[in-house]
């Protein structure tokens, strides 16, 4: 114990360079580097993190974190350990609230307001089918929704006759808010929009939108696929009623983990359409008539049945790593890479159409642009051609957006961005 304490104390005096000099093995760097008080722009620090934490192959430039994150070694190790434990001991996963607690702490709510889901779409469905709505009631959305954000609502429109209305995003937060207000009618019952749309990655002024919604008696259901792990936010401060997110993008957990936040005061106003073990405290089919108890008084009623224990543990490991490196440091890093990319692309002139706003508060760690060289397929062809050069981007064709989306996580660097920009330069001719 004494030795351990001394080791921990000494660690804080190490700089990145000193650590790299003394710590040879990847595992040793991995175990210690997250605790170094490096600046967010210390390239040596980030490149050591990349080399020690991420299995991504050398020479691959992965700029599609908005689709899925690269799972770090400690998270993979936790996953493997968990599955091996279950298989070797015949151990069914025991229930803990650890993952809900970790998510709640990061997004600013109570653990009993969080249900674990398998993805964002599941949370969107909980809100969509749970809010009591009648034929003719309106739901306001953006023209930039992801399939997972809008198909549930569109389906409910078909089944129940609710009406989906849309509004365009603005170039600034103020313009977006004004566009939204203009689209609200007396029949608007729900605003169901992304915090950060998947298309062009701009950060919407969700707090102002929720303030406005509250004052107009409108329910808010946010699609939070992207923010966790990229930017810091607090759902209680935002004031939304529902928030559906995931851990397998910016938070770097393995695929298949999401969460659904439901504000405490909405719990008993929300219909719970899918229930099973853990949703209700008791049941007894031997009673006449059979009894089912009542639903538990927390968000757990929305997540039920056998769950993937090893995946939950790995998710927890990913969140621990996020906290260890530091949400603020990560946010500064990923935003600064995206700004560098945006400025480099805009310097190429009018053959680039920039979609992501340049307003600082509206941009995060994603940059979306179109190649404007006379070829209507230039952007999609560019993404395909770069994939064969081991550069992974996302082409956004949905909602007629037609753009290239680039996501910058902390394992990316300026050199990779320069390589991408050089390719864009060649493509625009
Ligand atoms: C903004 C947004 N909403 C919803 C989704 C759907 O997420 P999932 O497939 O995890 O349900 C995505 C996925 O990329 C997304 O970007």
In a domain, 377, yes or no: no
- Please say if the pLDDT value at position 151 is more than 80: yes
Is the CB of 396 within 6 Å of ligand 1? no
In a domain, 201, yes or no: yes
For residue 367, how far is its CA from the centre of ligand 1 (angstroms)? 17
Nearest CA residue ID for atom 16, ligand 1: 198
In a domain, 155, yes or no: yes
> How far is the C-alpha of 144 from the C-alpha of 149, rounded, in Å?
10
- Please say if the pLDDT value at position 318 is more than 50: yes
Mean pLDDT, residues 152-165: 98
Q: Which of 248, 316, 328 has the alpha carbon at shortest distance from 74?
A: 316
pLDDT for residue 178: 98
Atom of ligand 1 nearest to the CA of 194: 1
Residue span of the structural domain in which 232 resides: 98-321
* Residue-wise pLDDT tens digits, 209-235: 999 999 999 999 999 999 999 999 999
Is the CB of 120 within 6 Å of ligand 1? yes
pLDDT for residue 111: 98
- Please say if the pLDDT value at position 22 is more than 60: no
For residue 71, how far is its CA from the centre of ligand 1 (angstroms)? 18
CATH code of the domain in which 210 resides: 3.40.640.10
**3-state SS record for the chain:** CHHHHHHHHHHCCCCHHHHHHHCCCHHHHHHHHCCCCCCCCCHHHHHHHHHHHCCCCCCCEECCCCCCCCCCHHHHHHHHHHHHHHHHHCCCCCCCCHHHHHHHHHHCCCHHHEEEECCHHHHHHHHHHHCCCCCCCEEEEECCCCHHHHHHHHHHHHHHCCEEEEECCCCCHHHHHHHHHHHCCCCEEEEEEECCCCCCCECCCHHHHHHHHHHCCCEEEEEECCCCCCCCCCHHHHCCCEEEEECCCCCCCCCCCEEEEECHHHHHHCCCCCCCECCECCCECCCCCCECCCECCCHHHHCCCCCCHHHHHHHHHHHHHHHHHCHHHHHHHHHHHHHHHHHHHHCCCCCEEECCCCCHHHECCEEEEEECCCCCCHHHHHHHHHHCCCEECEEECHHHCCEEEEECCCCCCHHHHHHHHHHHHHHHC
Nearest CA residue ID for atom 6, ligand 1: 148
pLDDT for residue 35: 61
- Please say if the pLDDT value at position 7 is more than 90: no
Is the CB of 223 within 6 Å of ligand 1? yes
- Please say if the pLDDT value at position 192 is more than 80: yes
In a domain, 123, yes or no: yes
Is the CB of 121 within 6 Å of ligand 1? yes
Is the CB of 119 within 6 Å of ligand 1? yes
Is the CB of 149 within 6 Å of ligand 1? yes
Q: Candidates 149, 251, 405: which one to mutate for ligand 1, based on the most atoms within 8 Å of Cβ?
A: 149
pLDDT for residue 429: 83
User: Which of 4-18, 67-81, 191-205, 340-354 shows the lowest mean pLDDT across its residues?
Assistant: 4-18
Average model confidence (pLDDT) across the chain:
92
> How far is the C-alpha of 303 from the C-alpha of 300, rounded, in Å?
5
Is residue 233 within 8 A of residue 207, CB to CB? The reply is no
Nearest CA residue ID for atom 5, ligand 1: 148
* Residue-wise pLDDT tens digits, 72-124: 999 999 999 999 999 999 999 888 899 999 999 999 999 999 999 999 999 99
For residue 320, how far is its CA from the centre of ligand 1 (angstroms)? 23
CB atoms within 10 A of CB 218: 19
Percent of the chain with pLDDT over 90: 86
Q: Is the pTM of this model over 0.85?
A: yes
Is the CB of 148 within 6 Å of ligand 1? yes
In a domain, 389, yes or no: no
* Residue-wise pLDDT tens digits, 38-80: 666 788 889 888 988 999 998 999 999 999 999 999 999 999 9
pLDDT for residue 28: 64
For residue 225, how far is its CA from the centre of ligand 1 (angstroms)? 5
For residue 147, how far is its CA from the centre of ligand 1 (angstroms)? 7
Number of domains, the chain = 1
User: Which of 49-53, 258-262, 314-318, 400-404 shows the lowest mean pLDDT across its residues?
Assistant: 49-53
For residue 248, how far is its CA from the centre of ligand 1 (angstroms)? 10
In a domain, 93, yes or no: no
Q: Candidates 148, 249, 258: which one to mutate for ligand 1, based on the most atoms within 8 Å of Cβ?
A: 148
* Residue-wise pLDDT tens digits, 243-268: 999 999 999 999 999 999 999 999 99
Q: Candidates 67, 144, 198, 257: which one to mutate for ligand 1, based on the most atoms within 8 Å of Cβ?
A: 198
In a domain, 130, yes or no: yes
Is residue 240 within 8 A of residue 219, CB to CB? The reply is no
Is the CB of 225 within 6 Å of ligand 1? yes
In a domain, 401, yes or no: no
């Amino acid at each position: 114990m004494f030795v351990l304490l001394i080791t921990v104390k000494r660690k804080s005096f190490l700089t990145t360079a000193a650590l790299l000099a003394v710590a040879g093995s990847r595992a040793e760097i991995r175990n210690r580097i997250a605790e170094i008080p490096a600046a967010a722009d210390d390239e040596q620090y980030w490149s050591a993190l990349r080399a020690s934490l991420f299995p991504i192959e050398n020479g691959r430039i992965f700029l599609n974190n908005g689709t899925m994150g690269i799972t770090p070694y400690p998270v993979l190790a936790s996953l493997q350990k968990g599955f091996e434990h279950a298989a070797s001991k015949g151990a069914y996963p025991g229930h803990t609230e650890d993952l809900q607690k970790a998510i709640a702490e990061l997004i600013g709510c109570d653990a009993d307001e969080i249900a674990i889901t398998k993805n964002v779409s599941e949370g969107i469905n909980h809100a969509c089918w749970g809010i009591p709505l009648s034929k003719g009631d309106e739901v306001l959305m953006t023209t930039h929704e992801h399939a997972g954000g809008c198909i549930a609502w569109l389906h409910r429109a078909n089944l129940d006759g609710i009406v989906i209305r849309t509004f365009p995003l603005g170039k600034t937060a103020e313009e977006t808010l004004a566009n939204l207000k203009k689209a609200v009618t007396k029949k608007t019952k729900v605003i169901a929009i992304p915090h950060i749309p998947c298309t062009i990655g701009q950060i919407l002024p969700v707090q102002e939108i929720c303030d406005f919604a509250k004052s107009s008696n409108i329910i808010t259901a946010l699609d939070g696929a992207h923010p966790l792990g990229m930017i810091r936010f607090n759902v209680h401060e935002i004031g939304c009623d529902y928030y559906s997110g995931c851990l397998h993008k910016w938070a770097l957990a393995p695929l298949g983990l999401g969460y659904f936040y439901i504000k405490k005061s909405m719990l008993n106003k929300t219909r719970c359409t899918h229930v099973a073990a853990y949703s209700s405290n008791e049941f007894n089919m031997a009673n006449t008539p059979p009894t089912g108890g009542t639903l538990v008084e927390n968000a757990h009623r929305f997540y039920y049945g056998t769950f993937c224990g090893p995946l939950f543990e790995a998710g927890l490991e990913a969140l621990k790593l996020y906290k260890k490196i530091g949400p603020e440091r990560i946010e500064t890093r990923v935003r600064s890479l995206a700004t560098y990319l945006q400025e480099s692309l805009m310097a190429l002139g009018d053959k680039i159409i920039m979609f992501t706003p340049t307003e600082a508060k509206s941009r995060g760690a994603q940059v979306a642009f179109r190649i404007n060289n006379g070829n209507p397929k230039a952007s999609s062809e560019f993404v395909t051609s770069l994939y064969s050069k081991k550069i992974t981007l996302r082409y956004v064709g949905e909602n007629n957006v037609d753009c290239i989306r680039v996501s910058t996580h902390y394992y990316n660097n300026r050199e990779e961005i320069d390589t991408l920009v050089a390719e864009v330069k060649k493509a625009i001719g």
